[in-house]
Amino acid sequence: MTYAGDLTPHEAWKLLEDEPGAILVDVRTEAEWRFVGVPDASSLDKKAALIEWVQYPAMSRNAGFLDQLKATGVEPGQPIVFLCRSGARSISAAEAATAAGLGPAYNVLEGFEGATDGDGHRGWQGWKGAGLPWQQG
């Protein structure tokens, strides 16, 4: 594994709660933030950083990702919790942050919405399915 590890949504919340310097980074696209919602860490006096891993609508890799991450003020040794839709893009983001000397970097298992159910719907897993705070973007 080339990043600090995977966390369940509740483990991610606990880390954000227990580590004052920990930052939550949502790497989904602007369209996902706007139409699906965003995690709400305001009760922890934190706000999720929204940095696309791939840029919508072309879905090409965001070449400025690491610069945008550094612009949040994150420093080496500061825990970073990465979140995407289902836990795939956030692994790539955690690996990139780790390779750049940032982190420890973590991936949130199942992401914000998780996999689709038998009817093709999301939201029963992940951050939303765990009942963690979120708001409509």
- 23: tokens are 């930052």
| pLDDT exceeds cutoff 80 at 1 | no
Q: Which of 51, 80, 47, 83 is nearest to 65 (CA)?
A: 51
* pLDDT of amino acid 116: 78
* pLDDT of amino acid 118: 85
Residue 22 DSSP symbol? -
Q: pTM value? A: 0.94
- The angle subtended at Cα 84 by Cα 83 and Cα 86, nearest 5°, is 115
pLDDT by residue (tens digit) across 66-90?
Answer: 999 999 999 999 999 999 999 889 9
Domains and CATH numbers, the chain: 5-132 (3.40.250.10)
Q: Which strand (E) or helix (H) includes residue 98? A: helix 89-99
pLDDT by residue (tens digit) across 4-18?
Answer: 999 999 999 999 999
CA–CA distance, 5 with 106 (Å, rounded to integer): 5
